[in-house]
Structure 1
């Protein structure tokens, strides 16, 4: 079985060219694939490749991936002063004339955007090498996340297999109860009429006709057959090599529809009880299926 879940967490660390980093990737349930990336300034160029790497592995789920970067101990980043920005600030300050004090350099350097650590001041070849190392590390994190989701999938598959066994048992019980329904209905009619008057002579042919009409209205054979077909499809999906979460969602709706119809048509207390048990099993199947990719 290759069913996968949608919940997991993984991280990967790396270092290259005096830079060290940590990727963290996690995912939770989602109807479609939705990825949110948190990248440090200057590394936005990694986003297309990161999204492609996620799409190649996952079809559903809400994913979050974040990259934290720091320089190795002893390494210092080049410092950049934006002189053009400083000049614009000075020109703007001249409009105040002598009404305010002249700006000081410590104040100017504290202004946003004037002073920055220039982590991206490396030659093109070194940056290409760093980006490749970062993406390789991201792939390792996504592989770890994929394995975590597969581990959840194995638990889901085990739970769904047990529920499929219970579903089959309930369907078999419903089929047996439905087969005995016509005779039971005829006996109930006979008993009720006899209770009205002990002197009433019952026409066997008329009794059979009335019982057949009532039994026809309460016939659930089609519902039982469709439930059995859906149960077979459930087992087939659990063996599929493709993501089956959406198909399991739809199958759960169909199982609910048939179980509800069986209960509403049932004219027998025992069959109604079986139908309610089936509905409980189907609800559990839907709960588990909601976690499948």
Structure 2
């Protein structure tokens, strides 16, 4: 069974680690972790008593939560945050409120996206990314799977990988995706994109792909979820909770960047086939220009 720590990079920023692991914690520990995540850098000026009171838990629970998050304790957590502390001038994406102006909403959304990309750079486990790259290079066929907001991401990924000569399939509807997963063969790759990692249809497709003998991988936002438990290679890159589903929206950019990194890595491993395929792609694209 894959643990939360196993799917995260060793160099992940402290607050990014907390946000990725929070959903997997027991209720009391989760409350403490949520307070720490909400306070962010402000926790450096707070005491363990303040955290415990805000979360309505015992101080011992705060310490236990910090240890489960991968720190030695509350002081270890504060030291880790202090090392990664960003300049005061850096824009921080605050919670979006109903009274915010259009300019404030736009600023917070842009800041959230920037923060997600910054955290994703440290969150993604590069060893896992390398393993997925090798699996894709060796595969005869790649199936991209995603439902709801993740579906357009699968279409973008399929287009890019197809342009370098990789045989890909990315059905739009979940029924066809499920059928395609069943028809995969040993050595093929099923790559799933899911923000929550807890969508029933997505998990069913992973099960079908595994039964067919395919390698399974996922790009998702949380280190501990049914999806990270189910796939061979989970790639975690998530976002900050801002309300109004901004977290899920901003996480799309992180997921796209992970897939772009995979695309470039696969392209480099497939030379000179990549250059030949890109030449054909460019020629076809030119034919469609006015």
What's the TM-score once normalised by structure 1's chain length? 0.25
Structure label with greater radius of gyration: 1
Greater RCO structure (CA 8 Å; 6+ sep): 1
What's the TM-score once normalised by structure 2's chain length? 0.25
